[in-house]
A and B are shown apart, each in its own frame.
Chain A
Amino acid sequence: MSGATIRERIETAVDYLAEIDNVVLTTFNVNPEFVEAYALPTVLGIWGPTATHRKLELHDRLAEVPVAVFYDPATGPRFSGQFRYEARPVPMRGRHFHPKIVAISGRDDLERRWTYLGVGSANLTVDGWARNAESYGEVWIHTEKQQPWGALLEFSRWLTGVARLGDGNRSSDASWRLGNWLEGMTDLKRRPEEPDAPWSGRLRGKAYFSMVHRDGLARFIQGRRKRPPSQVVAYSPYWADVESQTRRFGADSTVLAPARRPDQRFGLAQADVAGLDAEAIEVMRNDADDGTRFWHLKAYQVDFGASAFVAVGSCNFSAAGLRGANGNAEAMLVMEDDGAWLPSLAPVDLVNLPPANDEDEGPPEPCPVMFVLAWDWAKHAWRWWLDASAGQDCFRVQVAESLDVAVSSGTVELPGEPPPRGAMFRLDYTERGEPRRWHGCVLEINLEHSARTYGRPLTASELLESWRGRAPTWDLGNGEGDVWGDGLDGEAVEGPTGIGTVNLYDLYRAVRRRSEELEAASDKPNLLRALLLTSGDSVMALVRLARAETKNSTVAYLVLRELLSMLRRWRSVAGPGVLVEVGDATEAARRTVLDNLELELTGHSDSSAQPDAVLEWFERRLAAASRRSRDEAI
């Protein structure tokens, strides 16, 4: 079996896909630095010998592939805003958002649509992916006939709508794209047979999502069977409501396998099992759990006699974990499996369990307010959604230097100025008259229209060199070093960015090459969007440099003029907002050129030339030269 780490399993899957369309990750808690350094490069198939290489490549890939990370805001992460992906909080009233899935959609070499679905117990943290012993299962979705197809489709729709932000344009929303991707799959009954493909043997699992399969995990596994399971073996790091959850499975016998804590105590306490039927319920220890790693895995081995199933994923053995729609948002993968791969168990004397669990060992309190604040790059507006609980009132949200406004329940759009990178909001409100405060991350949406630079800003000449297909000068080769600094924390050195020094010959050659590249990518919408809008060397990146040029207004105008015509050719991808923005900038640059011409012509008393006429003459000559050189090239 290939891949013993989560990273390796995902790498194997991603290797198989020739093209990735979208990636959706869900987690309870999240370490954004880990996500950016490891998780995103893994799910996007990025390999590089150094962190710097991976970072550069990651910026390029994120320009093409929409990625969303859904997390529970109660865990209080802080995102850097340095990378182009959506970090979407999912507040849940009195509960947690707890599923840990990896959904990667793309096409294989034969142009077939696939969605790889990994379901496990690992959060998007270093501990989750690298240190703990976690359960992980995978299924490949290829046709509508597979159960995970419908389950994941419904879950993706739930994710898309959970925060009702009223954002219309969704082309860069990964969860929306995931739903669309699934809807575009075939309804073939027969599945292809390719024994060496990574999906071989991974087509038959069933996906459980508590928000979709509302009656809970036990019912889901039970299905239409009339007889209850003969035995359930539950591996879980956290335990609560043990008696009621044991009843939920209704097995003839139940084995509870708690994990050890770092102090070697079991995570299941005597108080949890007090009063249970000792004949039907047994506590056993995991032989492999010697205390060196945290066994964070959640796995359920359910035996029906003639058939046996294993479920892996996020459900802890607790009411919140197992009771379905009224509990946490959870995800599991269930397959017919004898569980031989699960660690063997040995009896444990109940006196070896701690008397009771420490109160502070539980999860954080659920998010106290149903509030999501977003900055919409397409509309250049704030959006928020608030669903106040009974007794909550007087809401006011603040974002440093950007927003300070009273809010009430519902969905609101408010034009404004963009927040700083990685901005946090502060929400003040009252609850039954008592002042309360909540902090959260500002979600940024419609990132394809973001005006931020992701990664090192390229100079105009680097950008044009890249358009001309040159080996980019910012390529770092295959080295181990970091050319931007002196070490791990070295400072970045930024080069010149101005467009004023651009050689016009280079400009037109580069524009032609980029136009050809765009034509060649006409059937690849992700690539087109990257080339036009989102990559570090996109057309819009050059537009921003040209707009910032103050010294050489003529070059700025000529550049903008070319870029506007390029964007018009691809208006369906660029969108009307971009065309208006670049059109206005071009017109403003033209006016500046005319003003400058007028000043210069005024200095020549013998000149009767009009600025308008001079510029028009120049533009005609330019167009003729451009046509000639294109013909020559042909």
Chain B
Amino acid sequence: MSTSHAFMISAEDPEIIGSANRADGMGTLAIWSTRARDLIPHLTEQTMEPRGFQILCEAIWLWEQYEPKHPEHAGQLDRFFLLIEQAFGRVVFEQTDQWVLPGSRRVRARAGQVPEISLSDASLHLLGGQKANGLWGLYRGAAMRGGLIDDSTGLLSEPTRTACETNRFRYPKGVRKLLKRVASAMNGDTVQLDSHSSSHLVRYLTETFEYIPMRVHLAEVLVENPDLNHRLAKELRRRKRLSHRDFLVQQQRKLPVEHQQAVENVIRCENVLSVVESMFEWLCANRGLQVDSVATKLPLDPSRLVPALAEFTNSGLYGSGVAAERFKLYCAIETGSRAALARSVLELHRVISEARGRAPWVWDEDGIVRSDVDLDLPPDAAFEVGVHWRNDYYLRPLKSVATLLEEAVEP
């Protein structure tokens, strides 16, 4: 753009427009995650591996041994945790050639080197933002919801502490050695760990990771409770592939009557969200055209959406936060005509974008569809109310955690 010394005509600002970092344009996550919590109360989209919970609990248990002996590091559990996570990542990869938890790229990049841990040397961190993007950021919330961690102290809950102490590989020498190295690293040193497979430290970390000694307790917390979660997990474990709608419709018939409404609510919720998201993508793909003329080609008969919307309004409680606000917006979608529906979706997206302080991806400017994203037209099947399905409702994490816990065996 043109500038003089003190004057200018402003250029577009992609950072503010948000084109570099776009997700969940229609704000459905807040809605469907609320419904999903009725089925699967603890897990999140990222918590696919029970080993993440095992390491988290193990690290906090180690901290409970460490902190009383190191008052100079009191209150620094998070920093301690980053080092334990690095130790697991580096040593386990060295021994098994794999690391299925966050940070695998950086772990692999140091293959063949003596395992090292460090707080001060950022190149040894498992991720660019290890705390936020690693196990601490991704698994701790789920662990607190499930009661593995006491949310008032941030330490292990009593049952988890007992499970951890009862079910562990006894390598006291290995633990002592690890804590000694970690203490040096807490003071800012970069510390080397053992790499030979007979080392107690290596065996302790590798076996803890591989065999998940707390698997029974983890299963009890994350899989077997509450009852609906348990029943769904049992069914999910049996399936090779997951078709969400088929699965939930089938479960709704099979489940005891007290659980049927929760499943029904999820289906009602998804029947609206999935097609509205398709409409949103379709509008993005039709940029530059008149809203009214393009709306006549919308592959969705609004009358098909009317009963789905009526059911959606009765799809359960959404609390008082973001989910409730979004729910109300979705309930107000216009279905009078294709044009009204298209405008309504644009308006819904505008309101959500505004609430985020972000520019909309697609908008109506004097009757013309404007968009700055490149999206393909969704297939016609994506507009079939009561058929199309988009969102996961945490079924995949539950299937994964339940299956992996079942597969874990004694060494």
Interface residues of A (CB under 8 A from B): 1, 3-9, 31, 33-38, 49-50, 120, 122, 126-127, 129-139, 201-202, 205, 261-263, 293-294, 297, 310, 312, 333, 335, 337, 340-343, 461, 465, 470-471, 473, 475-491, 493, 495-496, 506
- B14: chain A residues at CB < 8 Å are 130
The answer to whether residues A131 and B29 also contact, given A33-B356, A262-B370, A480-B129 and a CB cut-off of 8 A, is: no
Taking CB atoms, residues of chain A closer than 8 Å to B133 are 479-481
14 A/B residue pairs, CB under 8 Å, sorted by A:
A1-B5, A5-B12, A6-B13, A36-B357, A129-B16, A310-B4, A335-B6, A340-B4, A343-B2, A461-B75, A470-B76, A478-B128, A478-B132, A487-B24
Which one of A5, A120, A137, A480 lies within 8 Å of B132 (CB-CB)? A480
List which B121-173 residues lie within 8 A (CB) of chain A: 127-134, 136-138, 140-141, 144, 151-154
Residue contact B154 to A465, C-beta cutoff 8 Å: no
Contact status B367-A138, CB under 8 Å:
no
Contacts of A33 in B (CB 8 A): 354-358
Residues of B within 8 A of A130 (CB): 12-17, 359
A341 and B129 within 8 A (CB):
no
Q: Is the CB of B6 within 8 A of A131?
A: no
A-B contact number at CB 8 A: 209
Q: Which A-chain residue is minimally distant from B150 (CB atoms)?
A: A496
Q: How far is the CB of B135 from chain A (nearest CB, A)?
A: 11
- Least Cβ–Cβ distance between B9 and chain A, in angstroms: 5
Q: Is B64 an interface residue (CB 8 A)?
A: no
Q: Are B141 and A476 in contact (CB under 8 A)?
A: no
Please give the distance in Å from A362's CB to the nearest CB on chain B: 14
Chain B residues near A6: list those with CB within 8 A. Answer: 10, 13
Q: Is the CB of B6 within 8 A of A205?
A: yes
Given A136-B10, A486-B33, also A31-B27 (CB < 8 A): no
Are A135's CB and B141's CB within 8 A?
no
| Nearest chain A CB to B74 CB, angstrom units | 8
Residue of B16, B23, B144 with highest tally of chain A CB at under 10 A? B16
Q: Are B10 and A489 in contact (CB under 8 A)?
A: no
Q: In the complex where A1-B3, A479-B130, A495-B154 touch, is A131 in contact with B17 (Cβ < 8 A)?
A: yes
Closest to A494 in B: B151
Chain B nearest CB from A359 CB (Å) reads 14
Q: Residues of A contacting B153 with CB < 8 Å?
A: 496
Question: Contact: B322 with A489, CB < 8 Å?
Answer: yes
Q: Which listed residue, B7, B359, B368, touches A136 by the CB 8 Å rule?
A: B7
- Complex CA gap A395/B103 in Å reads 63
Give me 7 other A-B pairs in contact (C-beta within 8 A), A7-B16, A479-B130 excluded: A130-B13, A133-B1, A337-B7, A477-B132, A483-B132, A487-B23, A488-B24
Instruction: Evaluate whether A335 and B46 lie within 8 angstroms (CB atoms) in the complex, with A471-B79, A480-B128 already known.
Output: no
Q: Given A4-B8, A37-B357, A133-B9, check contact A483 B1 (CB 8 Å).
A: no
Across the two chains, which residue of chain A brings its CB closest to B16? A130
Residue of A whose beta carbon sits closest to that of B360:
A126
- B3 partner residues in chain A, CB cutoff 8 A: 1, 4, 341
- Is there a chain A Cβ closer than 8 Å to B30's Cβ? yes
Complex CA–CA separation, A333 to B5 (angstroms): 13
Checking A4, A37, A120 against B11 with a beta-carbon cut-off of 8 angstroms, the contacting residue is: A4
B247-261: which have CB < 8 Å to A? none
**The 10 residue pairs across chains A and B that have the minimum distance between CB atoms:** A479-B129, A479-B132, A37-B357, A262-B365, A33-B357, A130-B16, A489-B30, A477-B131, A4-B11, A130-B13
By beta carbon, the residue of chain B nearest A5 is B13
CB neighbours of A473 from chain B (8 A): 75-78
Contact B140 A133 (CB under 8 A): no
B136 CB contacts on chain A under 8 angstroms: 483
* Complex interface: chain B residues within 8 A of A9 (CB): 8
The answer to whether A487 touches B45, judged by C-beta atoms less than 8 angstroms apart, is yes
Which residues of chain A come closer than 8 Å to B7, judged between CB atoms? Answer: 135-137, 310, 312, 333, 335, 337, 341
Q: Quick check: is B366 within 8 A (CB to CB) of the other chain?
A: yes
Contact present for A481 and B12 (CB under 8 Å): no
B271 at the interface (CB under 8 A from A): no
B137 touches A483 (CB 8 A): yes
A314 to chain B, nearest CB (A): 14
Tell me which of A122, A481, A487 has the highest count of chain B C-beta atoms within 10 A of its own C-beta: A481
A134 and B11 alpha carbons, distance in the complex (Å): 8
A493 touches B4 (CB 8 A): no
- Among B8, B129, B366, the one with the most A-chain Cβ atoms within 10 Å of its Cβ is B8
C-alpha spacing A35/B354, complex, angstroms: 11
CB distance from A508 to the nearest CB of B (A): 15
In the complex, the chain B residue whose C-beta lies closest to that of A473 is B78
Chain A: CB-nearest residue to B134: A479
Residue of B with least CB distance to A358 = B366
Chain A neighbourhood of B44, CB < 8 A: 486
